[in-house]
Structure 1
Amino acid sequence: MSHHPDSVRINKAISDSGFTSRRKADTLIEQGHVTINGTVATLGDRVMPEDEVRVKGKLITENDTDVYIALNKPVGITCTTDRRVEGNVVDFIGHEERIFHVGRLDKPSEGLLLMTNDGDIVNKILRAGNKHEKEYIVTVDRPINQDFIKRMSNGVPILDTVTKKCEVEQLSRFVFRIVLVQGLNRQIRRMCEYLGYNVTALKRIRIMNITLGDLKVGEWRDLTKKEIEGLLDATEESKNIPQAQRNQNASTGGRRRRRG
Structure 2
Amino acid sequence: MTQPTRLAKYLGHAGICSRRQASRLIDSGDVTVNGRPANHIDHVNEQDCIMVMGKPVLGPAKKVLYAYHKPIGVDCKLNQNDPSSLIHHLPTGTRTYPIGRLDKDSRGLLLLTNDGELCQRLIHPDHHVEKEYWVTVDGSLDDKFCQKMASGIVVDGQLTLPCKVSLLSDTQFKIVLKQGLNRQIRKMAKYCGYRVVDLHRVRIASFNLPNTLLESHYHLITPAALKLD
**TM-score bracket relative to the smaller structure:** 0.7 to 0.9
Shift in CA distance, 183/7, structure 1 to aligned 2, threshold 3 Å:
closer
In structure 1, the partner of 2:225 is 227
Unaligned stretches of 5+ in structure 1? 28-43, 48-60, 235-260
Aligned partner letter, 1:188: I
CA shift, 1:139, in A, is: 0.3
Q: Secondary structure at the match of 1:188?
A: helix
Q: Secondary structure at the match of 1:93?
A: coil
In structure 2, the partner of 1:160 is 157
CA shift, 1:195, in A, is: 0.7
TM-score w.r.t. the length of structure 2 is 0.73
User: Aligned runs of 1:66-77 on 2, under 5 Å?
Assistant: 66-77=63-74
1-side partners of 2:72 and 2:164: how far apart?
A: 25
Shift in CA distance, 64/174, structure 1 to aligned 2, threshold 3 Å:
same
1-side partners of 2:160 and 2:146: how far apart?
A: 14
Unaligned stretches of 5+ in structure 2? 17-30, 36-44, 49-57
Please give the per-residue CA displacement for 1:41-75, whole angstroms capped at 9, x wherever unaligned. xxx9949xxxxxxxxxxxxx976521101101000
2-side partners of 1:209 and 1:222: how far apart?
A: 16
Shift in CA distance, 17/94, structure 1 to aligned 2, threshold 3 Å:
closer
Matched, 1:95 2:131: no
Shift in CA distance, 131/69, structure 1 to aligned 2, threshold 3 Å:
same
Please give the per-residue CA displacement for 1:19-58, whole angstroms capped at 9, x wherever unaligned. xxxx9xx99xxxxxxxxxxxxxxxx9949xxxxxxxxxxx
Please give the per-residue CA displacement for 1:196-217, whole angstroms capped at 9, x wherever unaligned. 1000000001111221021221
Matched, 1:199 2:226: no
2-side partners of 1:161 and 1:62: how far apart?
A: 39
User: Aligned runs of 1:137-216 on 2, under 5 Å?
Assistant: 137-214=134-211, 215-216=213-214
2-side partners of 1:142 and 1:174: how far apart?
A: 6
Which 4+ residue blocks in structure 1 deviate beyond 6 angstroms? none
Structure 1 or 2: more helix by fraction: 1
Task: Name which one, 1 or 2, has greater alpha-carbon Rg.
Answer: 1
Aligned partner letter, 2:215: V
TM-score w.r.t. the length of structure 1 is 0.65
In structure 1, the partner of 2:133 is 136
Shift in CA distance, 128/194, structure 1 to aligned 2, threshold 3 Å:
closer
RMSD across aligned positions (CA): 3.1
Q: Percent identity?
A: 33
2-side partners of 1:16 and 1:149: how far apart?
A: 43
How many positions carry a matched residue from both structures? 192
Shift in CA distance, 198/81, structure 1 to aligned 2, threshold 3 Å:
same
- Identify the structure with bigger relative contact order (alpha carbons < 8 Å, sequence gap 6+): 2
Aligned partner letter, 2:87: V
Please give the per-residue CA displacement for 1:216-243, whole angstroms capped at 9, x wherever unaligned. 2111111136316x34xx3xxxxxxxxx
2-side partners of 1:119 and 1:171: how far apart?
A: 35
